[in-house]
Chain A
Amino acid sequence: GAVVSQHPSWVICKSGTSVKIECRSLDFQATTMFWYRQFPKQSLMLMATSNEGSKATYEQGVEKDKFLINHASLTLSTLTVTSAHPEDSSFYICSASRYRTGDTEAFFGQGTRLTVV
């Protein structure tokens, strides 16, 4: 199967600083990647759709100035949490879409546990 690598797997940062999370598709090209957020004991909520070479599409209620998404290449998307605060502490997961004739499949990264202190 296809491999998606997400880095870092966990990070602790001070309130007010910014944190960058990387999502890489290792063995396929992904024109579309997705970023999800998961609070403890809850489901995954889609934050945004990351499109290679264009602006990300954010879901309703997600602050695009706070969660900056860049998809500069077909294998890399980054999520930057700017001026992080304790309420941004969460589990962030990316997925990358692989297209084959008649089929699109999403592959997930391992997730990043962000703790803001």
Chain B
Amino acid sequence: AQSVTQLDSHVSVSEGTPVLLRCNYSSSYSPSLFWYVQHPNKGLQLLLKYTSAATLVKGINGFEAEFKKSETSFHLTKPSAHMSDAAEYFCVVSVVFQGGKLIFGQGTELSVKP
């Protein structure tokens, strides 16, 4: 079975400082991993995805994530936080051979202080 665990339920940073949102995964197969962002009362927006190509994945809005098989991690980073980054972030794994079925992590709420 596949699963993801987001290690922090809430992260608070100051504007202009780096962002690190942590995610560990569990999968018997080579996983497809995603990071989604959700602003309050909104749908989901895909930030980036890993599908066994380059281990360092660049996404939108300056976010990137590195797939580390040895650590079973897929942490999300951004060099400099912006106020508009405040939102809920989900680490997600795709269930193998089930046509796009996704398993969501618990979510990390990112707060950005001025």
Contacts and interface: CB of A to CB of B under 8 A. Distances in A.
B101 A42 contact: no
From B36, B90, B102, name the one whose CB has the most chain A CB atoms within 10 angstroms. B102
Given A43-B106, A43-B107, A93 B100 contact: no
Nearest to A110: B43
A21 B101 CA distance: 20
A108 B99 contact: no
Contacts of A36: 104
A83 to B, nearest CB: 26
Interface residues of B, number: 19
B84 interface: no
B31 interface: no
Nearest to A111: B43
A42 B108 CA distance: 10
Contacts of A98: 100
A97 interface: yes
A34 interface: yes
Interface of B: 36, 41-44, 49, 51, 90, 94, 98-107
Interface in A97-117: 97-99, 103-106, 108-111, 113
24 contacts: A32-B99, A34-B100, A34-B101, A42-B106, A43-B90, A43-B105, A43-B106, A44-B44, A45-B104, A46-B101, A49-B98, A93-B43, A93-B44, A95-B100, A95-B102, A104-B94, A104-B99, A105-B100, A106-B102, A108-B43, A108-B44, A109-B43, A110-B42, A111-B44
B44 to A, nearest CB: 4
Nearest to A51: B99
A70 interface: no
From B43, B94, B100, name the one whose CB has the most chain A CB atoms within 10 angstroms. B100
B102 A103 contact: no
Nearest to B4: A43
Nearest to A32: B99
Nearest to B107: A43
Contact of A49 (B44, B101, B105): B101
